Amino acid sequence: MRSHQVDLSVTMRTETGKSAAKRLRAAGRIPAVIYGRGVDNLLVSVEAATFARALPETGWYSTLIQLEVEGAPRGAKEHPAMIMEVQRDPVWQRLLSIDFHRISLREKLHAQVPVIHVGQSPGVRVGGILQHITHEVTVECLPTDLPDHLEVDISGMEIGDVLRVSDLAAPEGATILSPRDEVVISLAPPVRLEEVAAAPAEVGAVVEEREEPEVIREREQEEE
């Protein structure tokens, strides 16, 4: 499915520095910058609630955004862009800043696109363990052809089967650049209860084997 374009309103800001950024965040806004092709760096801010509604986290790096900059000079009010980076507080997980990269709609770009699985696997129904290993792939295309995600069909997967990047179907106008042999989905056999029960015993045996030579040495020293 091709990514839909999101319209997002941002506002010019003149103050910089940590104190100014804190004031913006306290007011419910996120400091941001627009940079890239054909534009001088523009310092802007975006309302946090508006950003969250318009762009779910899964679409941050694979969505074409039409920015409308309030307070910008004539000729610099509208910018096609994509998110290049989002900084987030590691403790509270609130958004600290956003980097918007201005792009050309006529030039191909590289983007990370999420991979999701669809369908019901017969191998899962009999106890197989589905392992989703690769969650994103690199895609090259024009911004207007950018998919919001790629789908991998697991409806034919049995235990022991593997699906690779080569099994993904790119939409028209897009090329997948990730290595073709990279594993996307694998279906592992179920873990047997006896294997789980045996694991602690095996660990204990290893410990005993490691401790035995030390005990022997201690006894030899006592005999001397």
Is the CATH code 2.170.120.20 the one for domain 110-188? Answer: yes
Residue 5 has pLDDT above 90, yes or no: no
Pick among 3.40.50.720, 2.40.240.10, 3.40.47.10, 3.40.50.300: CATH of 6-103: 2.40.240.10
Taking only the tens place, the pLDDT of each residue in 152-205 is 999 999 999 999 999 999 889 999 999 999 999 999 999 765 554 555 555 454
Helix, strand, or coil (residue 21): helix
- Return the domain boundaries, the chain: 6-103, 110-188, 194-224
Per-chain mean pLDDT for the chain: 85
For 133-160, give one letter per residue: b (16+ CB within 10 A) or e: ebeebebbbbbebbbeebebebeebebe
| pTM of the predicted protein model | 0.73
Higher pLDDT, 137 or 213: 137
Residue 217 has pLDDT above 50, yes or no: no
Interval 49-57 mean pLDDT: 92
